[in-house]
Amino acid sequence: MDMRSKLRCNVIHYRKGFIEVAPGIHDGCINIEAWRVHPGLDISNREIGDGSFPDNAITGNVELELSIAAAEDLIQTLTEAVAKVKVRG
């Protein structure tokens, strides 16, 4: 079963891309990979890897392996950031 999850980040046109989260690529780790996409490409109806996705559209990429503890810290940090943005919004 493929447990990967891809998130489209398309709010700010010059900071758009995709985030993929996958468990178990390395034992005991959570893999996070982020792709930055050229600002001129509309990704609102595209997925990375589909036939219409141009090869030169990816302008940056990073892949990180998080320990379970680091992944839990990231979840907590994101939860706190979401709560702060909701209060301001």
Asked if residue 89 has pLDDT above 80, the reply is no
Which helix (H) or strand (E) segment holds residue 72: the answer is: helix 68-88
Domain range list for the chain: 5-88
Please compute the mean of the pLDDT values over residues 44-56 and round it to a whole number.
82
Please compute the mean of the pLDDT values over residues 38-46 and round it to a whole number.
91
Q: What is the pTM of this model?
A: 0.84
pLDDT of residue 1: 47
- Per cent of the chain over pLDDT 90 is 73
